[in-house]
Structure 1
């Protein structure tokens, strides 16, 4: 695929439950509130968590008369052809059409990928200007990134996902001579200085040195996110007691501050902000011939 004019942000990790979709929606809404044009693509045709989040947001806003920004969103349905190869071709064509439809009209294109390796996952990674890999603060989750020594955190071997990113970087370099800014984000971090936490931190830092990526602190485990998903809201939205089920708490305020710090760490300030208020577009489901 040819490069998009938009700045492409890909959320990727071959481990489910790491916070890719939650990070994607918060990033999109933050950029929309900054007056930037944003499109989102849910490339996970099985789980489609980002699509559910987006639809929850539209339905809640419509039911309560809220004026909140929405991204132009694409959901890629799962191919249901006669063979795996045919399904992969169909999904790629739908993905290509989605990118082509918005690439010259938005400032940021955010792509949420599935938690497993597919042809579409690899293509999305090769398009990335910024690759964000949320990573739970756990040795189990670190395993897809690298195998580390259990006593010292020393890097023993790169995991299959790290090798996927390395291939994507080489492909990107061959396409336009540019590289991918890979940022690993430690999510659900614990306040306790446990042995597991120290090993994960050391292991991630050793991987970052080896593969040339950056490490950013992410979002702690917070109850607020369980309340926000069903209504499609984010910590950046103005929320009343009905939406939150009570008055805003320190957890809500803390989560907002953590996301702001993460966004600062991504260094996305190069795009020019437009007038306050993002675009409002309906969901778009690329049905194709499936």
Structure 2
């Protein structure tokens, strides 16, 4: 059996769309026939854990066959573990990751919006780090600092340093590197000048700290509509259709396909063609 690939969805800022990206990538890989394990390290929020619980419940009620990942919870009571010693949580993560890597082709890890021992441990184990960020200088500040007068890039910022440390750990332990991909989520349709400025700074920072850039997901209603059912746009079909299908859903499929291509996973996931019927 080939070695499992560990994909960490990480960004120390909340509200960047980490869980949305994680569940969509997981669903697309599952529909492509891959085996997938998921680990939710946001012990208090548990967005990914809630999503797959909703998925099981909806599939049962609708008598629908949906591909499911293998879940590896760190504790029966994640909130209690969040309040415990950080070393205990990391030890449980290490054990869960070992099991997940034996069970599946891919391990998807959703991390909390903050710097925690769990998050750092996950980053150090990653084969790929996927960082969604909103298309604004507010989110860019987490990756790089700019001059307040000229907007020239001054230096990498706090999260870039975290990834740099994770890369050093991975290289020292395994002699391999970590592929880092930054996805620009919720692209604005206006303020073209500000968007161009941001893209120029992103390109400069990418060359400096070594990440690739890719497209993210726009702020579409469909992503929020499907979440309570435990579904993604990858699941929609003539038999799985809890909401009316619109042309915007086709565009959402195209966005997901573009993300998979940017991550180099397009050959591992099914072609996401939305049925017209």
TM-score normalised over the length of structure 1: 0.85
Deviation readout 1:92-140 (Å, 9 max, x if unpaired): 1221221122212211001001010011111100111111000000111
> What is the aligned partner in structure 2 of residue 261 from structure 1?
258
Name the SS for the 1:103 alignment partner: helix
- Which of residues 246, 250, 257 in structure 2 aligns to 1:249? 246
Assess if the C-alpha contact under 8 Å between 2:37 and 2:103 holds in 1. Answer: no
> What is the aligned partner in structure 1 of residue 147 from structure 2?
149
1:217-228 alignment runs, 5 A limit: 217-228=215-226
- Which of residues 57, 73, 87 in structure 1 aligns to 2:71? 73
Assess if the C-alpha contact under 8 Å between 2:10 and 2:131 holds in 1. Answer: yes
1:82-231 alignment runs, 5 A limit: 87-150=85-148, 153-231=151-229
Distance of 1:237 and 1:80 partners within structure 2: 33
Assess if the C-alpha contact under 8 Å between 2:38 and 2:109 holds in 1. Answer: yes
Distance of 2:147 and 2:248 partners within structure 1: 35
- Which of residues 47, 53, 57 in structure 2 aligns to 1:59? 57
> What is the aligned partner in structure 2 of residue 48 from structure 1?
46
Distance of 2:150 and 2:251 partners within structure 1: 32
Structure 1 residue runs of 4 or more that deviate by more than 2 Å after TM superposition? 74-81, 149-154, 191-196, 238-245, 268-271
Deviation readout 1:250-284 (Å, 9 max, x if unpaired): 2211111011011011113676x89xxxxxxxxxx
Deviation readout 1:8-37 (Å, 9 max, x if unpaired): 000000111111111111111111111111
Assess if the C-alpha contact under 8 Å between 1:227 and 1:244 holds in 2. Answer: no
Q: Do residues 8 (structure 1) and 9 (structure 2) align?
A: no
Assess if the C-alpha contact under 8 Å between 1:186 and 1:216 holds in 2. Answer: yes
Deviation readout 1:182-231 (Å, 9 max, x if unpaired): 00000000222533322221221111111011000111111111101111
Distance of 2:9 and 2:110 partners within structure 1: 5
Distance of 2:148 and 2:234 partners within structure 1: 39
> What is the aligned partner in structure 1 of residue 233 from structure 2?
235
Distance of 1:152 and 1:229 partners within structure 2: 41
Listed as ranges, the gaps of 5+ residues in structure 1 are 275-290
Q: State how many pairs are aligned.
A: 267
Name the SS for the 1:31 alignment partner: helix
Distance of 1:270 and 1:123 partners within structure 2: 29
Distance of 1:153 and 1:180 partners within structure 2: 29
Distance of 1:240 and 1:16 partners within structure 2: 35
TM-score normalised over the length of structure 2: 0.89
